[in-house]
Amino acid sequence: MKLKVLVDTNIIIEKRNKLFNLLGSYDPVYSDLVLVEVMEVIRKNALEAMKKNKREVANKYLAFGREFLKMLYQQNVQLEYPNIKDFVEAFEVMKDKDVDAVDAVLAVIAKRQGVNVLSNDKDWDRLKDYAKRVNI
C-alpha cells in the first residue's frame, strides 16, 4: 500500500523533470491552493525567462504546466478543498507557527485527512503537530 501524501508546491516545481516517476511511489493528494501556486510560479518563471530572451526555457515551463494539469485531469484526481473551519484554524497556525497562509491551510487539511505532506520546505518541521513531512 502506497503512502498517502498531500503534495506541496515546492515538490511539483523543484522536481518537475522527474515528478511523474517520483509520485509513482506515493498515493498523492492535491489541494486547489497548491495548483494555483504551481500555475502562478510557472507563469512568473516563464515571464522571467521571456524577459531574458530565453524562449526555450519559458516554453519548457509552460509545457510542464500543461502536462502536469493534463495528467491530473486524465487521472481524474480529486482535489482537497479547505472549508471555512480550516481557514479559521489555519489563521491561528499561521500566526503561532510563523508559516505562510497556504502552508497553514495545507497543514490543517493534512491533519483533517490524516495524511503526511510531501515537501522539501523546512517550514513543515514547525508544523509537525499537524502532519509529518516526507521529503524527497
37 part of a folded domain: yes
Model pLDDT for residues 11-40, shown as the tens digit of each residue:
999 998 898 888 889 999 999 999 999 999
130 part of a folded domain: no
Q: Share the mean pLDDT of the chain.
A: 95
If DSSP codes are grouped into helix, strand and coil, which group holds residue 28? strand
Q: What's the number of domains the chain is made of?
A: 1
Phi and psi angles of residue 134, each rounded to the nearest 5 degrees, phi first: -110, 120
Q: Which residue has the cell 489541494?
A: 31
- Residue 91: CATH number of its domain: 3.40.50.1010
Query: What type of residue is 99?
Result: V
132 part of a folded domain: no
127 part of a folded domain: no
How many residues are present in the chain?
A: 136
What is the pLDDT, as a whole number, of residue 17? 86
What is the pLDDT, as a whole number, of residue 114? 96
Query: How sure is the predictor about 108, in pLDDT bands with cuts at 50, 70 and 90?
Result: very high
Model pLDDT for residues 61-103, shown as the tens digit of each residue:
999 999 999 999 999 898 999 999 999 999 999 999 999 999 9
| Boundaries of domain holding 26 | 3-122
